[in-house]
Amino acid sequence: MVTGGNSGIGKATAFEIARRGGTVHLVCRDENRAEGARGEIIRESGNQNIFLHIVDLSDPKTVWKFVENFKQEHTLNVLINNAGCMVNERELTEDGLEKNFATNTLGVYVLTTALIPVLEKEHDPRVVTVSSGGMLVQKLNTDDLQSERTAFDGTMVYAQNKRQQVVLTEQWARAHPTIHFSCMHPGWVDTPGVRLSMPGFHARLGARLRSEAQGADTVLWLALAPTAAVQPSGRFFQVIEISPVLYTKPSIEAVTHHLLTVGPQVGYLPSGGLIFPVSGDFSATDLKGWF
C-alpha cells in the first residue's frame, strides 16, 4: 500500500513495485489524478493488479472506515506512508485540526495503527514512512504541536510533523516487534510538492535535485530488500544508512499524549477508551506504557 501514490516519490515507488510484479494499493485523495496515475502505472508496468482507494488522510473517521473495508477483502505485507502536505498558511480541517498536523501526523498515526493487525498476519511485514531530513533543522516543539500559539511557518510546521513521524516510528517498533518499522529521508527531490510549496528552494537547487525515481531508492530498499529487514526496527535512514535523531523522552511523551487526547476532541476517539478498536485489549493505557 502506497499513500500519495499518484505523483512524486509515491508514484515512482508504486511503479517500481508494480514493475516487479507486486500488487499495489494506491491510497490517494484526488480521484481524477489518481485514476490517471493508476492507468499510467498499468500501461508502463504491464501489471493489472493496481487498486485505487480514495481517502482523505486528514479525516480520521474516513481513514478508519477505509481500513475496516480494506481488511475484509485484502491482505497487506507492506505499508508505505508517503502522502503528505505542506500548507503554508494555517488552515483547519472540518474537525478543527491544523491541516498539516492532521495529514502528516494524525493521518499516518490512524492509518498505521489501524492496519497493524492486518500486517501482523503476514510474513515479513513492514511499514516505511517517508519523513524528511528537513526535520533535523527543527527541535521538536511539544508545547505547540498544532501551531496554535506561535507564528505560522508552513515549512517549519512540516519539519515538526516529520520529527513527529520519527517519534511514532520508534514507538511502533518497540510495541510491535513482529513488524519492521522504518522512516527515511529520500534526499532533496524534484517533486510537484516541492515545486508548489517551496518554489524558492526549488529554484535555487534546480538541476541538483534528485529525480523522483532516485528519491524512491531508499523507500524501495526498506520495503523490499532482505538486507533491510535485518536492520534494527524503528530507525531513521538516509541513503540506505541509519542516521541519528535527537529528542528527549519527555518530548516523546508529549507527542503521544497529544495524539491520545486529540481524538476525543474531534468526536472520534472515546476519551479514556480504545484508541482504535483494532483489538479488544488495545487501549490508551497500553499506549502510555510504551514509554
Give the pLDDT confidence of 171-226 residue by residue, as tens digits.
Answer: 999 999 999 999 998 866 555 655 555 566 546 666 666 677 788 888 999 999 99
- Cell readout for 139 is 527541535
pTM for the predicted model, two decimal places: 0.80
Average pLDDT, the chain: 81
| Alpha-carbon separation of residue 69 from 1, 55, 66, 77, 276 (angstroms) | 14, 12, 5, 17, 15
- The backbone torsions φ and ψ at residue 204, rounded to the nearest 5 degrees and listed phi first, read -70, -40
Look at residue 216 in the predicted model and tell me its pLDDT: 85
Tally of domains in the chain: 1
Q: What is the mean pLDDT of residues 67-92?
A: 95
Q: What is the mean pLDDT of residues 8-37?
A: 96
Which single residue is written with the C-alpha cell 513495485?
Answer: 17
Look at residue 39 in the predicted model and tell me its pLDDT: 98
pLDDT tens digits, one per residue of 132-153: 877 777 778 888 888 898 899 9
Look at residue 186 in the predicted model and tell me its pLDDT: 80
| Helix (H) or strand (E) run with residue 117 in it | helix 107-119
Q: Catalytic residue, from 109, 158, 247, 268: name it.
A: 158
Look at residue 257 in the predicted model and tell me its pLDDT: 54
Q: What is the helix, strand, coil percentage profile of the chain, to 5? A: 50, 15, 35
Residue 249 maps to which CATH number? 3.40.50.720
Domain span holding position 171:
2-288
Burial of 88 (0-12, 13-18, 19+ CB in 10 A): middle
SS3 of 260, please?
helix
| Alpha-carbon separation of residue 251 from 45, 61, 113, 218, 258 (angstroms) | 44, 27, 20, 27, 11
Percentage of residues in the chain with pLDDT exceeding 90? 57
Distance CA 193, CA 55 (A): 18
Strand 241-243 relative to strand 235-238, pairing: antiparallel
**Residue 247 appears among annotated catalytic residues:** no
Distance CA 162, CA 134 (A): 8
pLDDT tens digits, one per residue of 30-76: 999 999 999 999 999 999 999 999 999 999 999 999 999 999 999 99
